Amino acid sequence: MNYNWERPKSKKEMFWERLKAKPKNQNLIITVIISMVIFGVIQIFIFQPTENYLRGLSNLQGLSNLGRLDLEFAWTEERINTIFSLWQSPGIFRQFVITIIDFFYLICYCLILAGLIFLVARKLHDEFQKVLFISALIPILAGIFDIFENIFLLIMLGANEAVLSIFPFITSISSTIKFVLIYIGVGFFLIGIIGILLYHYEIIDYRD
């Protein structure tokens, strides 16, 4: 008689096993590709023309050249009001619409980066793999701070002023954290690529 017995997997172990299988790689790849296409369309045909338009408005007198990032990193009430005074109503309205579109844009970059990290993580092993799986949450956190940024931008754009002096500061802090998290996410993705190469060339070993 065969009395071989295997220890039942813990809930934690089952959780990591599920991450290796769901969602399926094919679905992840499709999601990443679709998100990339939407991301590219928004960036090339909506955001970039708007950026040129806003910079053109603020540069009519040759005094300024202020675009979307200048608004996100205005930091102070005075800076916000200066930008709005240069953009005037047409520019403010255009940026208001763009900020709404940015909610779809941020979903795209979250899905792209999280999906790529997930795909890379599945090629790794042991604790290295777990770290990459966890790091897939970083783009989601970036998206959450982007949402905070957009909400405060919409409030200020709707009022054509800073409203409260703290609003530009909160907006810029949220934007800063967002970009830092995006760069960290990209960093983890690149680390994962390096990890795949290290496993492939058997520079580091793993448990089967």
Q: Tens digits of per-residue pLDDT, 142-193? A: 999 999 999 999 999 999 999 999 999 999 999 999 999 999 999 999 999 9
Q: What is the pLDDT of residue 203?
A: 83
Domain locations in the chain as residue ranges:
24-200
Q: What is the mean pLDDT of the chain?
A: 90
Look at 25-39, 107-121, 122-136, 184-198 and tell me which has the smallest mean pLDDT: 122-136
Q: Quick one: average pLDDT of 189-202?
A: 92
Q: What is the pLDDT of residue 20?
A: 73
In Å, how far are 3, 68, 69, 134 from 105, measured between CA atoms? 57, 14, 15, 23
Q: Tens digits of per-residue pLDDT, 65-83? A: 899 999 999 999 999 999 9
